[in-house]
Structure formats: C-alpha cells, structure tokens
Amino acid sequence: MKKLLCLAMAAWMVLGIVGITALAEENERTLIAVASMRAGARFADERNYYENVVGPTLGWDFLFYEGVDDLETLLSFMENAYAMGAKGVLNYYTPGTLKGAELAEELGMFFSTQASRLPKFEEGSTQAYNLGNVGASVDGVGSAYRQAFEALLSDGQNHSVIVYTILAPDKRAASHYYSTEAILETMQAHYGLVYSDSIEALINNYIPGEIETGNPDVKIYLCPGSNNEAAQSNVNVPLYTGDYDVFVSFSNFHTFMGAVAEVEEIYQKDIKVISTVNTGENTYRGFHTQDIFGNPVLNTAIINPLNVAGGISAAMMYNALNGDPAAMQLDGKPAQLFVIPWLCLDAQTYEKVEGLETSHGTSYVIDREDLEELLVTNNPDITVQDMIEKLNQLGDIDQLILSKPAE
C-alpha cells in the first residue's frame, strides 16, 4: 500500500490521466468518492442523479472513477480520494467489498457498496465505518419472475423456454439463481412437469443444455455462462431450432435481439422476451421497437431501479457523517438492505416509470424532497430501519406510479 505522504501526488496523477472528475469547490461542502464499474453512457443516468439531486440536497461534491474493473484500481482510488479530503466512498465494484471496507476502516472513511450479499468479515474485526450494502432483493427478483411466468402461462398454451442463467450455478449471482428457480418451479406447477433431477441440481449444472420435463410439448433449455460471445453461440443452438417461443435473460437482453428477430422471421413464430433490466435507453428501445408481429421486442421487464440504491446509500452516509453512525447499522454491524425490483408486464407500465430514474424526466423515485425526509438533520431519530421501510414502500410499483407520476 502506498504511503500516505505519496497519496496527494498520486491523486493528481489519477485525476489527470484516468479522468476522475472533481467537483469540489472552495467551501465547506463534503467530498464523496464514487467508484463505478460502469463508464460513459452506461453510467450517465446515475452520474446525473448524483450531480443534480444528491449533491445539491446533501451539500456534497464528488470524485467519480468510472470503469473500476479490479481490486487494485478500487483501493488506489480510495487512497487518492482520501488524500484529496473525501469523507466516504460509494462503491459499485462488488468484488472489492471486503478489502474496500477494510481499507475504509483504516483510513476512517465511511464505505457503502451496492451489492446483495455482505462479505464474511474476520471474527472480531472492527466495522465502525462500514455502512453495509444496498442491493437487489433476491427474494424480490424471484417473486417478480414467478409473477411474470404466471401471467405468461395464463394463456393456456404450451410454452418452451430458453433461460440464459448467466451466473446462477452455485449462486455466483444469487439473483440469477433464484430467478431461475422461480421459473422452473412455476412451470413445474403449471404443467405438472417431472424433472430428471432436483431443481437445485439442474440450476447448478455449468453445461448448457435441455432439461428433461416429462412433457414433449414443453421444453426448457438452461444456458449458464458469463462470457457474452460464448453465450450468444450457446443460446443460438436451441433458438435456431424453432422449438422455443420464450427467451429469458437476466442481463443484456438487447445483444440477442438480432438472432431472435431472425428466428421469428424464419419460423414465423412470435418469441416472447423477458429480461432483468435497468431503466435506460436499451429498455426504452426494447419496449418501443416492434417485431414483425407488431409486438414490442421486449415483452416483460423485471426492473432493477437505477438510482434507488444510490439515494438510500447516500442518505445513510450523510447520516453517519452528521449524526450517530451506529444508527445506520444493525446491532453495531454493517446492514444488508434490499431494493425490491419492479415488474413491468407491458410497455404502458414502463412508460409510466421510465422518467423516474433517467434523463427522460426530472422527477426521480428518490428526489430532493424524499432525500430530505431521510436525513438526520431533519429527523434526529432516524435509523437504518427507516431506510428499510422506505425501500419497502418503493417496491410497490402501482403505488409509486400513483404517488409520483413520471414527467
């Protein structure tokens, strides 16, 4: 680890070469570091939210590092940010959660990560500066996929499904595992399927392939793997047979749309697409682009809210900096908070929520008024339980639409 005496120089080198953007002004505003795995256009909506809503509301300026892709980069950025006066780190690089929290503890910086699972810290280790995680609810994602498939299967037809399970095996991504589990359980219950093995064993198989269902009219093909190029080839194997009329992806659905469109043309078969998405341009296009049958190319979306975790994490960090940090933990330990996904069964529902988190609108899900209600300076008794309650409220998409119409 670099010595602290060298950090100031290193920080300026990173600022000039890698493009960290400093917004600090010569005043008493607090400086917060944001370490994002995404970069450029893929991070633009979130960055806009920090700069236009969070910063002005909390009196913060930011150091942004976009494109963090390894632990060394994260830790170096944190050291550089500390040297420049940053008081906390909002971290998106989930593989660095453990070591990042340890370094934050050493430096005396508050630390929060957008992830769905807390790492295992050493017994007795101090975590006074670790505000834990805010990430996607795996139970919520599973419930959303269960509802999506109940709606799909309600037409009384036989459906055959390709599921791009990505990191589902061995719960390398818990949300992928529980989404796959929900799909298999729902189809089993609806069609009376008899699988050749337990659902757990089927999901944990790393080899792409069709699983036995006991029903020749209902096929299910599971395709694990995180390499996009390999996944495209693996998905194409069942897709181009023309036997499948539903395609599910837990990420990057748009990369498969060319192949889906071609198969629809060849077999004159309408293929329903269901995917986990974020609000943004690809999802917008998916719902507003029609296939040859006049249907949206994206039929159903399970939406991971883009800025909800960022808003809650920021409020927790503000409260730790301006009040009792222990109030932002559970029983003196880092808390795991969950963001409930939104189920959009059609383009009309998506149109009502898209402006709440992107540059399409200015009324955010957690806007300035919402943030102010979560601050210790306005509510001295606020605790992490209030944050959990707020997240639960925001998980009701119907109520959200009624209370905060998109602009």
Instruction: Give CA–CA dist 250/87, Å, rounded.
Output: 35
CATH topology of domain 138-303: Rossmann fold (3.40.50)
Contacts of residue 103, Cβ cutoff 8 Å, sequence gap at least 6: 1, 75, 78, 79
Instruction: Give CA–CA dist 135/304, Å, rounded.
Output: 9
Q: What's the pLDDT at 260?
A: 98
Q: What's the pLDDT at 26?
A: 45
pTM over 0.75: yes
Asked if pLDDT for residue 377 goes beyond 80, the answer is yes
Contact 382, 337 (CB under 8 A): no
Looking at 97-101, 213-217, 270-274, 345-349, which range is the least confident one? Answer: 345-349
Q: What's the pLDDT at 401?
A: 82
Q: What's the pLDDT at 226?
A: 82
Is the pLDDT higher at 10 or at 396? 396
Asked if pLDDT for residue 382 goes beyond 60, the answer is yes
Contact 108, 129 (CB under 8 A): yes
Residue-wise burial string across 23-39, b where 16 or more C-beta atoms lie within 10 A, e elsewhere: ebeeeeebbbbbbbbbb
Q: What's the pLDDT at 117?
A: 79
Residue 327, helix vs strand vs coil = helix
Among the listed residues 118, 145, 197, 175, the one whose alpha carbon sits nearest the alpha carbon of residue 343: 145
Domains of the chain by residue range: 4-136+306-339+367-402, 138-303
Mean pLDDT of 31-52: 90
**Confidence class for position 375, pLDDT limits 50, 70, 90:** very high
Contacts of residue 167, Cβ cutoff 8 Å, sequence gap at least 6: 173, 176, 224, 226
Contacts of residue 220, Cβ cutoff 8 Å, sequence gap at least 6: 160, 161, 163, 184, 187, 210, 211, 213
Q: What's the pLDDT at 358?
A: 62
Task: Judge whether 4-136+306-339+367-402 and 138-303 match in fold.
Answer: yes
Among the listed residues 125, 117, 64, the one whose alpha carbon sits nearest the alpha carbon of residue 89: 64
Q: What's the pLDDT at 24?
A: 40
Ramachandran area for residue 67 (φ above 0: left; ψ -120 to 50: alpha; else beta): left
Contact 123, 100 (CB under 8 A): no
Instruction: Give CA–CA dist 195/211, Å, rounded.
Output: 7
Contact 225, 172 (CB under 8 A): no
Q: What's the pLDDT at 364?
A: 81
Q: What's the pLDDT at 399?
A: 87
Instruction: Give CA–CA dist 126/129, Å, rounded.
Output: 8
Q: How many CA atoms are closer than 13 Å to the CA of 175, on its beta-carbon side? A: 23
Q: How many CA atoms are closer than 13 Å to the CA of 399, on its beta-carbon side? A: 7
Contacts of residue 284, Cβ cutoff 8 Å, sequence gap at least 6: 350, 354, 360
Ramachandran area for residue 73 (φ above 0: left; ψ -120 to 50: alpha; else beta): alpha
Across the chain, mean pLDDT equals 89
Q: What's the pLDDT at 52?
A: 92
Q: What's the pLDDT at 18?
A: 39
Q: What's the pLDDT at 230?
A: 86
- Say which CATH class 4-136+306-339+367-402 falls into: alpha beta
% the chain with pLDDT above 90: 70
Instruction: Give CA–CA dist 35/43, Å, rounded.
Output: 11
- Neighbouring-strand partners of residue 22: 63
Helix, strand, coil share (%) of the chain residues, nearest 5: 45, 15, 35
Asked if pLDDT for residue 405 goes beyond 70, the answer is no
Mean pLDDT of 349-372: 77
